[in-house]
């Protein structure tokens, strides 16, 4: 048998090069901004040595629409539809994060039933967002049928949201002080049947992937992030938990009554792509459990208010707007010229990508001074070079998929 000889000694980080016949040829590659594997308009400047990534620099901003500036010009109330377009696979989650920040600033208490509906919507959104992660990552790694399986389930969620909010995407359904309308019994029944069936579907996804040799080899020990690195690089959410840090804002700093729900926080051990995959799959199961608990609570609180009664900040019910002069005036006043108290507030929520935060500053007038959006996806993009440098180019596709970001939120 002929033995292989190597012309080049492997460099410090380039142990994987031994089999690479192209080693030594440096190539500059511009990947994106229109590349299917970059999950949106992300450009990666890659310097390749054969198949190995020597240097990588992400370039963002191709989808920058100036959301923060838009908030300053539109005012607090009219910015709600724009929050949908941040992380556009989970619009309701963004709505709720923004509403919670404004409620904190104004000191508004959301009624019990309003909070329960919010929890339900957030968990449904989380499932939908994780399904996108699973489908797109799997199709990038060659498992095309997974994409159809996950999108079939996601389609069911969108049909339910369509029936409830009137839109499949970009729902804009949350208001300051609660949600726009109540959940009726028929919708509850649809949700329940979906959620009960979804448990089995998650098991099917796992049957496809978890023990799959190709999936395992492409993900295990790829893109390993240690605990300390994850903290230093400001990673949050499943990316942080995949590295073994048990931190979930729903447990650590509960909002919307999450302290009353029973659920577990899945944590990884190694911090590679495979761990992050396992964490997200388990989160789908936990989200299903939380949503079912929320449905139970909704059964008990039927008939309760879903929107707070505070005519300084909260929109009046639509039925009253059509019949009462005062309510019409309040409606007009709040939509055109809502002013919040002077001060600043920050609210972070556990979105599917990590900590989604809104930092709002008001000077007491109807013009916002600042609305900073702490988008978790931006820091997930920032971590790509950390794990991709020194790895093979094909690993980068797995890494991009497993870090999970949406460019609408990254670029704002």
DSSP-derived secondary structure letter, 361? E
Q: Rounded distance, CA 405 to CA 60, Å?
A: 12
Q: Which is nearer to other proteins, 10 or 244 (CB)?
A: 244
Host H or E run for residue 312: none
C-alpha to C-alpha distances, 51 to 55, 140, 147, 378, nearest whole angstrom: 12, 18, 27, 27
Q: Which is nearer to other proteins, 189 or 232 (CB)?
A: 232
Question: CA nearest 41: which of 27, 21, 57, 62?
Answer: 62
Q: What phi and psi, each to the nearest 5 degrees, are found at residue 228? A: -65, -40
Q: How far is the CB of 412 from other proteins (least distance, A)?
A: 7
Pair of tokens at residue 292: 């079912």
First to last CA, the chain: 58
Q: How far is the CB of 272 from other proteins (least distance, A)?
A: 19
Q: How far is the CB of 62 from other proteins (least distance, A)?
A: 9
Q: How far is the CB of 137 from other proteins (least distance, A)?
A: 23
Q: How many residues does the chain have?
A: 412
Q: How far is the CB of 232 from other proteins (least distance, A)?
A: 5
Q: How far is the CB of 389 from other proteins (least distance, A)?
A: 13
Burial, 233: exposed, middle or buried (Cβ in 10 Å; 0-12, 13-18, 19+)?
Answer: middle
Q: Is the dihedral of CA 241, 246, 248, 249 positive or negative?
A: negative
Q: Which is nearer to other proteins, 64 or 302 (CB)?
A: 64
Q: How far is the CB of 387 from other proteins (least distance, A)?
A: 13
Q: Which is nearer to other proteins, 14 or 225 (CB)?
A: 225
C-alpha to C-alpha distances, 374 to 148, 165, 203, 289, 410, nearest whole angstrom: 32, 26, 33, 28, 9
Pair of tokens at residue 293: 């608990």
Rg (CA), the chain: 23
- The answer to whether residues 24 and 18 touch, using CB atoms and an 8 Å cutoff, is no
Q: Which is nearer to other proteins, 47 or 344 (CB)?
A: 344
Q: How far is the CB of 183 from other proteins (least distance, A)?
A: 29
Q: What phi and psi, each to the nearest 5 degrees, are found at residue 307? A: -135, 135
Q: How far is the CB of 225 from other proteins (least distance, A)?
A: 12
- The answer to whether residues 292 and 189 touch, using CB atoms and an 8 Å cutoff, is no
Q: Which is nearer to other proteins, 85 or 218 (CB)?
A: 85
Q: Which is nearer to other proteins, 388 or 392 (CB)?
A: 388
Q: Quickly tell me which residue has 């797995």 as its tokens.
A: 398
Q: Rounded distance, CA 155 to CA 158, Å?
A: 5
Q: SS3 letters for 152-169?
A: HHHHHHHHHHHHHHCCCC
Q: How far is the CB of 302 from other proteins (least distance, A)?
A: 28
Q: Which is nearer to other proteins, 158 or 233 (CB)?
A: 233
Partners of 30 in the β-ladder: 45
Interface positions with other proteins (CB under 8 A): 60-61, 64, 66, 68-69, 72-73, 104-105, 107, 231-235, 245, 247, 252-253, 341, 343-348, 355, 357, 359, 361, 363, 367, 369-370, 372, 374, 378-379, 381-383, 386, 411-412
Q: Which is nearer to other proteins, 36 or 364 (CB)?
A: 364
Q: Is 41 helix (H, G, I), strand (E, B) or coil?
A: coil
Q: Which is nearer to other proteins, 136 or 239 (CB)?
A: 239
């Amino acid at each position: 048998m002929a033995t292989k000889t190597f012309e080049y000694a492997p460099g410090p980080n380039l142990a994987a090069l031994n089999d690479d016949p192209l080693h030594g040829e440096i190539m500059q590659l511009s990947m994106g901004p229109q590349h299917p594997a970059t999950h949106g308009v992300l450009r990666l400047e890659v310097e390749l040595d054969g198949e190995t990534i020597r240097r990588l620099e992400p370039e963002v901003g191709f989808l920058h629409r100036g959301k923060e500036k838009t908030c300053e010009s539109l005012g607090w109330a009219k910015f709600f539809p724009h929050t949908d377009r941040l992380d556009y696979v989970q619009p309701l989650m963004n709505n709720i994060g923004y509403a919670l920040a404004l409620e904190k600033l104004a000191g508004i208490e959301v009624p019990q039933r309003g909070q329960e509906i919010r929890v339900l919507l957030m968990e449904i959104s989380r499932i939908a967002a994780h399904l996108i992660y699973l489908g797109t990552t799997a199709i990038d790694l060659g498992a095309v049928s997974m994409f159809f399986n996950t999108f079939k389930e996601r389609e069911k969620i969108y049909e339910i949201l369509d029936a409830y909010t009137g839109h499949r995407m970009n729902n804009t359904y949350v208001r300051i002080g609660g949600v726009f309308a109540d959940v009726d019994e028929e919708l509850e029944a649809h949700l329940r049947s979906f959620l009960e069936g979804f448990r089995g579907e998650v098991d099917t996804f796992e049957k496809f992937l978890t023990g799959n040799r190709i999936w395992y080899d492409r993900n295990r020990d790829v893109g390993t992030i240690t605990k300390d690195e994850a903290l230093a690089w400001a990673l949050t959410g499943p990316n942080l938990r995949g590295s073994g840090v048990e931190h979930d804002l729903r447990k650590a700093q509960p909002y919307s009554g999450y302290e009353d729900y029973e659920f577990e926080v899945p944590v990884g051990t190694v911090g590679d792509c495979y761990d992050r995959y396992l964490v997200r799959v388990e989160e789908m199961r936990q989200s299903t459990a939380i949503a079912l608990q929320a449905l139970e609570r909704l059964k008990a609180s039927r008939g309760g208010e879903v929107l707070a009664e505070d005519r300084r900040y909260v929109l009046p019910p639509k039925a009253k707007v059509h019949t009462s002069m005062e309510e019409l005036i309040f409606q007009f006043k709040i939509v055109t010229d809502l002013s919040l108290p002077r001060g600043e507030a920050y609210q972070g929520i556990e979105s599917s990508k990590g900590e989604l935060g809104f930092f709002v500053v008001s000077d007491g007038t109807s013009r916002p001074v600042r609305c900073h959006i702490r988008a978790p996806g931006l820091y997930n993009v920032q971590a790509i070079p950390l794990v991709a440098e020194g790895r093979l180019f094909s690993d980068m596709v797995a890494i991009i998929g497993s870090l999970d970001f949406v460019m609408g939120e990254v670029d704002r």
